[in-house]
Amino acid sequence: MAVLDFDCGNSRLTLADFLLGRNASTDREDCQSVKAMAMDALYDDSRITIVVPEITPAVEAERELQKDEDFLAGYVVDQWSQQGAEYLLTGQVLPGSKQLVLQIHRVANRSVVAVHTQSFKTGLMAPASEQKTLVEQGISILLTDFFRAKIPVVKVLAGGGKARKVLVAGGNSQGLRQHQELSVSIGGDVVGSIVVEVVESESFSRCRVITGGRAIAEAINNGQEVEVAIIKL
């Protein structure tokens, strides 16, 4: 995962103003501070690998694209993709409503796969440690949503042209449990459902296919991305 520069907008009120009660920092410095806190939280999560690409003049010149709605179609994203990043984290501080909006985007198709809005309505003069805690909480909730929402099917364990059992890359760390029902989607379209039979580890589970076995088998054989989502926690 790569982390793009955070955006604090052009408001005179900075993040530090309403969190720490000071006004000496610039918007950019505040954004860099929040971004650093977010990256620290990501580094501490063993499920995430942070990609830090080399900053070339071309990439530096394109940084302003990150503030536009269409930045995900820009040259910057291609640079991270070439470095091996599968996902991008973006952050936007909204001083007026005192919120931090965090989003995870899939590099392959520029789609948003997880969103969390963290409120900073804690009053002025909040200590720096509280600011850091709020950012960490936001990242934690975002990652929980991300890992629960999209869990890939690794392979078909039984069945030829019609999958009967599959292995998914989700386990205890994603909140999976025995007898839990999951929906199966291909390209964003739900095609069937499966039930968890055995949670083998933190990251893998064996599941029995209820519906959509033929579509699942065909997609896996064709190298398509097949994902499952928890229907009920």
- Closest by Cα among 54, 20, 230 to 129: 20
Q: What is the DSSP letter of 69?
A: T
Q: Which of 118, 149, 180 is the last residue of a domain?
A: 149
Give the domain CATH number at 212. 2.40.10
Residue 187 banded pLDDT, cuts 50, 70, 90:
confident
At which residue do the structure tokens 């999958």 appear? 163
Would you call 77 helix, strand, or coil by DSSP? helix
Checking if the pLDDT of 76 tops 80, the result is no
The chain-wide mean pLDDT, for the chain, equals 78
Domain that includes residue 165, residue range: 151-230
* pLDDT average, residue stretch 93-107: 82
pLDDT, tens digit (0-9, with 9 covering 90-100), for 10-37: 544 455 554 544 443 445 666 778 888 8
96 in the same domain as 8? yes
Model pLDDT, residue 216: 95
CATH number of the domain where residue 37 is located: 3.40.50
Q: Whole-prediction pTM value? A: 0.58
Alpha helices, H only, 85-168: 128-149
Separation in Å, CA 160 to CA 24, 54, 155, 169, 204: 65, 45, 12, 21, 22
**From its phi and psi, is residue 127 left (phi > 0), alpha (psi between -120 and 50) or beta?**
beta
Long-range Cβ contacts of 124-130 (<8 Å, 24+ apart):
124/17, 124/18, 124/19, 124/20, 124/21, 125/20, 125/21, 126/19, 126/20, 126/21, 127/20, 128/20, 130/19
Which pLDDT does position 63 carry in this prediction? 52
Mean pLDDT for 164-171 is: 92
Same structural domain, 103 and 210:
no
2-3: strand order across its sheet: 2-3, 87-94, 99-106, 112-119
Q: What percent of the chain has pLDDT over 90?
A: 22
Through-space distance between the first and last CA atoms of the chain, rounded to whole angstroms: 26
Statement to judge: residues 133 and 47 lie in one domain: yes
**135 shares its domain with 156:** no
Task: Out of 149, 172, 202, pick the residue that ends a domain.
Answer: 149
Question: For 191-217, what is each residue's pLDDT tens digit?
Answer: 999 999 999 988 899 999 999 999 999
